[in-house]
Each structure stands twice: as C-alpha cells, then as structure tokens.
Amino acid sequence: MFFTKIFAPLALTLAGASVVQGGLIAYGLCQTGCNALAVACYGAAGATFGTVVAAAAAAPAILACNSALGTCSAACANVALLAPTP
C-alpha cells in the first residue's frame, strides 16, 4: 500500500513525459555560429572565407582560423547533437 502511494504518481509523471530527441536544430545553429566566427576571423586576417586553399603556404592567421573552426565544429558535434530538444 505504501509503495503504491509513493511510486504511482512518479510512474504517471514519467509515463506522461514526452520523448526527447537529439537536437538537430541546435546542431545547425551551433554550426552557423561557428561559420559566422570563421568569416569574422578570415575578415580580420584580410581574406575572404571559402576562397583560400588550406595549404602550408597559407598565412598563419588563416591556418589559425581553420583550426578554430574545426575545434568549434567538433564541440558542436559533441554537445549540440546530444542536447535534448522536445
């Protein structure tokens, strides 16, 4: 009897909870933010994002922008894809 009084409301609450899926929208927004920062980084380095070949001869600032973009994108994949989105 005591068991039913305590766990019945909990069971009903959990049964009524909606399903939560990975946040594809959050991931897209995060990637958009990363790309916006990369565009700003390229602009500060005096280049246009998407026009520079990532080679060893590229300016060190451009290589740093590419590295930061990769780090940001990896963080999005690790965090935003696992974020609950009802």
Neighbours of 13 (CB within 10 A): 9
Average pLDDT over residues 12-21: 56
Q: Look at residue 17 in the predicted model and tell me its pLDDT.
A: 54
d(CA 21, CA 70): 25
pLDDT (average), residues 32-52: 88
Q: What is the pLDDT of residues 54-86, one digit of tens each?
A: 666 678 888 899 899 999 999 988 887 776 665
Judge if pTM exceeds 0.75. Answer: no
CB of 83 closer than 8 Å to CB of 26: yes
